[in-house]
Each structure stands twice: as C-alpha cells, then as structure tokens.
C-alpha cells in the first residue's frame, strides 16, 4: 500500500531579503511525504520567485496529479516542472534509500561585507577557509576595495564572489583594478560578472580572475565545455530538476574539467539538509553554497545542526492531501 501526503508551508523571511529587485517576505512551498511498507521519504517543492519559471500553483497541481497516479501503484514519469521533479525525486530516493545519509554541512559562509563578521565566521569554520560575497549591489569600486581588503586581512582566505550579471565591461574592469594581481588566484571564482556570457569571458581573460556560470545553466544554448578562464558551474537543484538531472549536470561538468558547486535556491532546512547529502554524494571535496538558512525565521521538519531558529513541525503545515 502506498500513501502520499502533501502540505503547504510558509516561512517568514528576514526583513531585508531582496531577490531580483523584489522583497521576499515569506518563502512559500510544498512538502511531500511518500510512504510504502513502513518506510517514508520526504521532499520539498519550492519554486523560487524570480528564478523558477513555474508557479507554486502549477507545482501544486502537477504534484497532486502525480501523487494520485503513484498511490494507484503506477510509476508515472516525473513532472517536467524542475521544482516538482526535484522534490519528488528526493522523496522517492529517500523512500528507496538511494540518497546517502551523510551530509556536507560545512558550507561557504555568505559574507555581507562586514570584515569583523567575516573573521568570526571564519574562526568557526573548520578546514578550508572559503567565504562567499555578493558583489554588484553597490559601486564596483567599493566592491573591489572590500574584496581586496578581505584578501589582505586573511592570508589563507579564498573567496567566491557572485555578481549576478550586474556589471557592464567597464564596471567589471573598475572592480578588478582594485584587486591586487598577486591575490587574484585566491578568488576561487566570480559568478556571472557581466550582463552577457561573452563579456564575462572577456573579463576573465583581461583580469585573470576565474569565472563561474550560474544563470547561464538555465539558458537553452548552454553547454558544459572547458573554456579558458571558466573554472566552475553552480548547480541549483530546485531550478535544475530531478536528482537524475542534477547528477547528469554534475557528471557533464566534471567530464569537462569544471568544478561543480551545489547551491541553495532558498529551500527550507528540509531541502537544505537534503542538499548537503546531495553535495556529499555528488561533489565530495567541494564545499556547497548552502548558507541561506539564516535568511529565514524558522526551520522546517528537519533541523540544521547548530541552528538556533525555531523548528516548525508538520503541525505548522497546511495539509493539502
């Protein structure tokens, strides 16, 4: 006998969370629980506004239809909506005990740019000192000075930067001008510095700073190929689709000699703890980019080790089925 439950959740976000120029007041999503022969498997389905193409309502409908067929003993193909395919494939993998339990909970801490906050975060980070800084939100010159300062202050620090395509070639050049050339290889990568892929490639060639693709992975003509100056691809499973699709992307990246970084799409602690397991399984030795729980005001179903946020249980969820 198969059993499936579906819930809706809503988690208040920290006041200042802005995504693609819109404030995100709450994170809204679905939680699925599949049961069979006394075992169960959980999954989170949470399309990210401004990033996912599919709406939460479309996800709800596609998930309900799939659950209906699955409970009748069928093996329906996963829906094509990436957030749904991701959540259902996680629930199936847990049910079938195919998602390894060990997680990589060390993650590249997100640094707002306050050097003192960064120092205390790094002190608490065992092993490799890697942090992530969002750039492109303020003046490029300010970003360049800040990044240079952080690299100067912490000699064993490596930085991941993310510009989310904010810069013109000129702005990108103004940024790079402030980075001491001797330290540029301690920038592990900068994600998508410029508006276009070609401008980002030119930035990498001119500055000697390695770049990473993130947004580009969702463009139809994207290919996993080795290119000068391109070191890394950032893979966001909620935006990619099923675990099988995520695995195929990681394998394609590795085959091309690219590093693959599993990254958050602002999932709740339920999805984030599954992403730590996916990272430990598919990208061992690479720190994932999952430091987004602190943007929320609560955890959901499963706790993140060490988080002080309140934990919402199923009683906090709205049952949809």
Ligand X SMILES: O=C(O)CCC(=O)c1ccccc1C(=O)O
Binding-site annotation: residue ranges for Mg(2+): 162, 191, 214
Applying CB under 6 A, what is the total number of residues that bind ligand X? 14
Residue 15 CB partners (closer than 8 Å, separation 6+): none
What is the token pair recorded at 169? 């070639």
- Closer CB to Mg ion, 263 or 274, in the complex: 263
Q: Which of the following is catalytic: 129, 134, 171, 177?
A: 134
Catalytic status, residue 25: no
Residue choice 108, 230, 246, 296 for contact with ligand X (CB under 6 A)? 108
Site for ligand X contains 259 (CB under 6 A):
no
Task: List, as residue ranges, the binding site.
Answer: 162, 191, 214
Q: For the CB of residue 201, give the shortest distance to ligand X in the complex, in Å.
A: 19
First to last CA, the chain: 16
Site for Mg ion contains 54 (CB under 5 A):
no
Applying CB under 5 A, what is the total number of residues that bind Mg ion? 3
How many Cα neighbours within 13 Å face the side chain of 86? 32
Residue 267's binding partner among Mg ion, ligand X, none (Cβ under 5 to 8 angstroms by kind) is: none
Residue choice 216, 249, 273, 292 for contact with ligand X (CB under 6 A)? 292
Q: For the CB of residue 244, give the shortest distance to ligand X in the complex, in Å.
A: 22
| Angstrom distance (rounded) from CA 299 to CA 286 | 25
Site for ligand X contains 218 (CB under 6 A):
no
| Angstrom distance (rounded) from CA 301 to CA 274 | 12
Sketch the per residue contact string, 7 through 46, with ligand X: x for CB under 6 A, - otherwise: ----------------------------------------
Residue 183's binding partner among ligand X, Mg ion, none (Cβ under 5 to 8 angstroms by kind) is: none
Residue choice 143, 191, 259, 267 for contact with Mg ion (CB under 5 A)? 191
Site for Mg ion contains 214 (CB under 5 A):
yes
Sketch the per residue contact string, 138 through 167, with ligand X: x for CB under 6 A, - otherwise: ------------------------x-x---
- Closer CB to ligand X, 109 or 144, in the complex: 109
- Closer CB to ligand X, 42 or 213, in the complex: 213
CA 200 to mean position of chain CA atoms: 21
Q: For the CB of residue 37, give the shortest distance to Mg ion in the complex, in Å.
A: 40
Q: Which of residues 153-172 bind Mg ion (CB under 5 A)?
A: 162
Asked if residues 234 and 160 have their Cβ atoms less than 8 Å apart, the reply is: no
Q: Which residues bind Mg ion (CB under 5 A)?
A: 162, 191, 214
Binding site for ligand X (CB under 6 A): 51, 108, 132, 162, 164, 214, 234, 263-266, 289, 291-292
Catalytic residues: 134, 236
């Amino acid at each position: 006998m198969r059993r499936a439950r579906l819930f809706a959740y809503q988690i208040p976000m920290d006041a200042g969370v802005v995504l693609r120029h819109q404030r995100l007041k709450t994170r809204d999503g679905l939680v699925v629980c599949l049961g069979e022969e006394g075992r169960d498997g959980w999954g989170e389905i949470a399309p990210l506004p401004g990033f996912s193409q599919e709406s939460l309502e479309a996800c709800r409908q596609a998930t309900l239809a799939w659950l209906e067929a699955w409970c009748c003993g069928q093996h329906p193909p996963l829906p094509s909506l990436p957030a749904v395919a991701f959540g259902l494939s996680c629930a199936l993998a847990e049910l079938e005990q195919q998602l390894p339990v060990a997680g990589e909970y060390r993650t590249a801490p997100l640094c707002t740019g306050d050097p003192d906050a960064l120092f205390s975060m790094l002190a608490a980070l065992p092993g490799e000192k890697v942090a992530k800084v969002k750039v492109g939100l303020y003046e490029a010159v300010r970003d360049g000075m800040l990044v240079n300062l952080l690299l100067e202050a912490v000699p064993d620090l490596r930085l991941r930067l993310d510009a989310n395509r904010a810069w013109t070639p000129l702005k990108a050049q103004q940024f790079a001008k402030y980075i001491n050339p001797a330290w540029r290889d301690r920038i592990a990568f900068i994600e998508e510095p410029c508006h276009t892929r070609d401008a980002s490639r030119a930035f990498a060639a001119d500055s000697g700073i390695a770049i990473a693709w993130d947004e580009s992975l969702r463009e139809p003509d994207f290919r996993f190929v080795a290119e000068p100056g391109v070191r890394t691809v950032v893979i966001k499973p909620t935006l990619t689709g099923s675990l099988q699709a995520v695995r195929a992307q990681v394998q394609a990246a590795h085959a091309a000699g690219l590093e693959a970084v599993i990254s958050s799409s602002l999932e709740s602690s339920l999805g984030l703890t599954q992403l730590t397991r996916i990272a430990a399984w598919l990208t061992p030795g690479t720190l994932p980019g999952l430091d987004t729980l602190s943007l929320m005001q609560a955890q959901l179903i499963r706790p993140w080790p060490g988080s002080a946020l309140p934990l919402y249980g199923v009683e906090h969820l709205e049952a949809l089925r």
